[in-house]
């Protein structure tokens, strides 16, 4: 048996972040992280192994992140937690005692009840190097790829399949149940723009379509849609979302909530046991806006929760304000992003809102190299001008623009505050200070609120 003060289970986004935060706050504590993989993938980088990055091996979280922060690494799957004796045991026979335990066991791909998903050449988006290597090998030799799910994972895979030179002669089709791809995150105009980029790049997008069955004998040969149509497929990639990985927590008697994630309080402590914390995709979330349960699973949320855990392990410092939901993606050369509530989500939540839309280049003058046209929409609550959401499309500047919008939402910034922001600008780096997107949109919203 080995001893540790803090044991963290999970080595992806949340686990190491909780360890590093703990190390910074409590330098005297012995921190051990247990993870089941030999090598850990950057989860958000998985679609890019297909083309841009080129292999799972080039998409890894380095172990030096742990060693540089004096976090001991144990490789093995935790198979049992004894909360009375405060011990965790791994499949390799390691037994580690803890004072505080952090569960960062993440999520697993959602499996739909579609017959035929067990056939050869059907792949789920698993965070597993060998599995994905196998998928890459298969993709090298196929003609027809069908992707079930037009959320950001499906869309990113489709785009990468088309971009990668080996797949130039193969067909890539997305089958999406909803009226638009990316609809759960973005407003319709951005979804339409994203779909147009996909189509231009050779991806076929089928919407309002439900996959009824995966066809073939042992190996997949096609998919059947509820409409009766059949699509030819040599490979099916299922990217329909994720579910919290909570079997271990359940076995240890920790309570799960209605979303089947581990129930935690606002300090990220499990309800059943003050010395056990949970963070990331395995932990239950509430919306920053409504306080209702949220199914958002993002690395940004996972790491923020992990920092709360790291700080709170030996003294309560932070509480979780809820999931804001900040996200961006890139399709072809066009980036799309959102923060907080889209206009349609705000309306669905019953908020009395005003929106403002602006467009213009992200350099000035627009003849500067790298200038890309940005479209930004901000959503404010009408009464006080509180910022509750934003969506955008444009170039690479969108990622950080959405982070600024997300930070403003999280800190209750209003249109009146944004209108007076003293933004740093430079011709080669930013939009012009005169029609600066964020400030301009705030001013337009103020005009509309009058």
Q: Is 281 in the site for ligand FAD (CB under 6 A)?
A: yes
Q: CA-to-CA distance for 284 and 280, rounded, in angstroms?
A: 9
186 forms part of the interface with ligand FAD (CB under 6 A):
no
Of the candidate residues 5, 72, 77, 193, the single one contacting ligand FAD (CB under 6 A): 77
Report the alpha-carbon distance of residue 334 to residue 342 in Å, rounded: 19
66 is a site residue for ligand FAD (CB under 6 A)? no
* Shortest CB 91 distance to ligand FAD, Å: 8
Q: Interacting stretch for ligand FAD, rule CB under 6 A, among 113-121, 174-182, 296-304, 317-325?
A: 296-304
User: Considering the complex, what minimum distance in angstroms separates the CB of residue 398 from ligand FAD?
Assistant: 13
- CA distance linking residue 268 with residue 274, whole number of Å: 9
How far, CA to CA in Å, does 410 sit from each of 124, 227, 269, 336? 33, 43, 22, 20
Q: How near is the Cβ of 385 to ligand FAD at its closest, in Å? A: 28
- Do 14 and 281 touch, CB atoms closer than 8 A? yes
C-beta separation of 44 from 12 below 8 A: no
Q: Which of 22, 46, 81, 311 binds ligand FAD (CB under 6 A)?
A: 46
Nearer Cβ to ligand FAD (102/431): 102
CA dihedral for 225, 228, 229, 233, sign (positive or negative): positive
Q: Which is nearer to ligand FAD, 50 or 311 (CB)?
A: 50
Neighbours of 94 (CB within 10 A): 16
Q: Taking contact as CB under 6 A, which single stretch among the options 5-13, 199-207, 353-361, 419-427 is the one that binds ligand FAD?
A: 5-13
Q: Does 104 bind ligand FAD (CB under 6 A)?
A: yes
Token pair recorded at residue 449: 């609120």
Q: How far apart are CA 37 and CA 80, in angstroms?
A: 17
40 counts as binding ligand FAD under rule CB under 6 A: yes
Check: CB of residue 430 under 8 Å from CB of residue 362: yes
Considering only residues 5, 44, 347, 449, which one is a binding residue for ligand FAD as defined by CB under 6 A? 44
State how far the Cα of 198 lies from the Cα of 195, in Å rounded to an integer. 5
Q: Is 43 in the site for ligand FAD (CB under 6 A)?
A: yes
**Does residue 126 contact residue 153 with C-beta atoms inside 8 Å?**
no
Residue 283 is classified by DSSP as B
302 binds ligand FAD (CB under 6 A): yes
Answer for the pair 297, 43: CB distance below 8 angstroms, yes or no: no
Sheet order of strands, 100-103 included: 71-75, 31-35, 6-9, 100-103, 276-278
Shortest Å, Cβ 27 to ligand FAD? 23
Cα–Cα distance, 140 to 158 (Å, whole number)? 14
**Residue whose token pair is 């489709």:** 158
Binding piece for ligand FAD, criterion CB under 6 A, among 98-106, 211-219, 317-325, 356-364: 98-106
List the x/- string, 110-129, binding to ligand FAD by CB under 6 A.
Answer: ---------------x-x--
Judge whether 35 and 71 are in contact, CB under 8 Å. Answer: no
DSSP string, 203-214: EEEE-S--EEEE
Residue from 7, 8, 15, 21 binding ligand FAD (CB under 6 A) = 15
φ and ψ at residue 99, rounded to 5 degrees: -100, -45
Select the span of 40-48, 171-179, 199-207, 332-340 touching ligand FAD (CB under 6 A).
40-48
Nearer to ligand FAD, 240 or 248 (CB): 248
- The only residue of 59, 89, 105, 430 in contact with ligand FAD, by rule CB under 6 A: 105
Q: Is 20 in the site for ligand FAD (CB under 6 A)?
A: no
Site mask, ligand FAD, residues 243-262, x = CB under 6 A?
--x--x--------------
The nearer residue to ligand FAD, 264 or 381, going by C-beta atoms, is 264
Q: Does 171 participate in binding ligand FAD (rule CB under 6 A)?
A: no
Yes or no: say if 415 and 380 are a contact pair by the CB < 8 Å rule: yes
Q: Per CB under 6 A, does 300 bind ligand FAD?
A: yes
Q: Strand order in 211-215's β-sheet?
A: 211-215, 222-225, 230-232
Determine the Cα angle at 401 with ends 304 and 61, to 5°. 45
111-119, 293-301, 312-320, 413-421 -> range binding ligand FAD (CB under 6 A): 293-301
**Cα distance between residue 266 and residue 168, in whole Å:** 49
Q: Is 164 in the site for ligand FAD (CB under 6 A)?
A: no
| Closer by beta carbon to ligand FAD, 13 or else 22 | 13
Q: Does residue number 35 form part of the binding site for ligand FAD (CB under 6 A)?
A: yes
Among 299, 317, 347, 368, binds ligand FAD (CB under 6 A): 299
Residues that bind ligand FAD (CB under 6 A): 9-15, 34-37, 40, 43-44, 46-47, 77-78, 104-107, 125, 127, 153, 245, 248, 280-281, 297-300, 302, 327
């Amino acid at each position: 048996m080995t001893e540790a003060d803090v044991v963290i289970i999970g080595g992806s986004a949340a686990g190491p972040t909780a360890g590093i935060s703990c190390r910074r706050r409590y330098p005297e504590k012995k921190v051990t992280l247990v993870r089941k993989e030999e090598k850990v993938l950057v989860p958000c980088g998985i679609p890019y192994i297909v083309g841009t990055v080129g292999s799972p091996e080039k998409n890894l979280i380095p172990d030096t992140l742990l060693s540089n922060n004096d976090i001991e690494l144990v490789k093995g799957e935790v198979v049992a937690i004894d909360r009375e004796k405060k011990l965790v045991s791994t499949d390799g026979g390691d037994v580690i005692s803890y004072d505080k335990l952090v569960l960062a066991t993440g999520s697993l791909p959602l499996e739909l009840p579609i017959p035929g998903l067990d056939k050869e050449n059907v792949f789920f988006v698993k965070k597993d190097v060998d599995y994905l290597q196998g998928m890459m090998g298969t993709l090298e030799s196929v003609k027809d790829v069908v992707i079930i799910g037009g959320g950001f994972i499906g869309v990113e895979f489709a785009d990468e399949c088309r971009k990668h030179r080996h797949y130039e002669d193969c067909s890539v089709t997305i089958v999406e149940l909803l009226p638009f791809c990316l609809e759960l995150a973005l407003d319709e105009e951005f979804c339409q723009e994203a779909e147009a980029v996909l189509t231009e790049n050779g991806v076929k997008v089928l919407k309002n379509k439900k996959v009824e069955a995966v066809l073939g004998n042992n190996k997949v040969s096609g998919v059947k849609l509820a409409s009766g149509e059949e699509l030819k497929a040599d490979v099916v990639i299922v990217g329909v979302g994720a579910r919290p990985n909570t079997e271990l927590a359940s076995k240890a008697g920790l309570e799960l909530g209605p979303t089947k994630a581990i129930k935690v309080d606002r300090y990220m402590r499990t309800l059943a046991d003050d010395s056990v914390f949970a963070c990331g995709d395995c932990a239950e979330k509430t919306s920053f806006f409504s306080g209702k349960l949220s199914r958002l699973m993002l690395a940004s949320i996972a790491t923020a929760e992990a920092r709360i855990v790291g700080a709170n392990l030996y003294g309560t410092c932070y509480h979780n304000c809820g999931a804001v939901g900040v996200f961006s993606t890139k399709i072809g050369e066009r980036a799309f992003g959102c923060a907080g509530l889209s206009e349609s989500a705000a309306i669905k939540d019953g908020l009395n809102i005003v929106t403002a839309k602006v467009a213009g280049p992200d350099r000035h003058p627009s003849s500067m190299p790298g200038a890309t046209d940005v479209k930004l929409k901000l959503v404010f609550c009408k009464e006080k001008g509180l910022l509750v959401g934003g969506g955008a499309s444009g170039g690479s500047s969108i990622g950080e623009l959405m982070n600024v919008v997300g930070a403003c939402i999280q800190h209750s910034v209003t249109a009146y505050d944004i209108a007076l922001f003293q933004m740093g600008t430079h011709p080669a780096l930013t939009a012009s200070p005169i029609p600066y997107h964020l400030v301009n949109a705030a001013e337009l919203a103020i005009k509309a609120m009058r």
